[in-house]
Amino acid sequence: MEELFIEAKIENIGAVSDFVGTQIVNCNAKTKNEIMLAIDEIFSNIANYAYSAKTGYVTVRTTVDDDITIEFEDSGIAYNPLLSAEPNITLPAHERNIGGLGIFMVKKIMDSMEYRREGNKNILAIKKAKEECYV
């Protein structure tokens, strides 16, 4: 398991992407792009919403075994994204509620998404089958 501890600021998305990218070098382009899109969305949400007006930190962990698992841990406001209502994507864009598409997309492109709250920590894990990579 590799770990990155970083301030939850939008400008750190590149560092998070680079960190995860070094762990998934053998993945095909489609799988790597899906993983990168998912981590961008999740890290952005943490940076924008987890700590309200103040800034906190995020620990990003990657594990590559039977699956590629990327885990995000923050001590921000308790929030389980799995409980969010799915957006109605059948409506025209101008009739839809703002927000919710990012998490919906992550759920669709990743093989699994799990959330747990441990003490004052939000822990969100996303997984992608390693079989989609050349290992």
Structural domain boundaries, residue 99: 2-132
For residues 97 and 128, the model is more confident at: 128
pLDDT at 135: 43
Kindly state the average pLDDT of the residues 55-61: 96
Mean pLDDT of 61-75: 94
Average pLDDT, the chain: 87
Does residue 100 register a pLDDT over 70?
no
Q: What pLDDT score does 121 carry? A: 97
Candidates 120, 127, 38; CA nearest to 79 is 120
* Number of domains, the chain: 1
C-alpha span between 74 and 121 (Å, rounded): 5
Q: What is the pTM of this model?
A: 0.88
The domain spanning residue 52 has which CATH number?
3.30.565.10
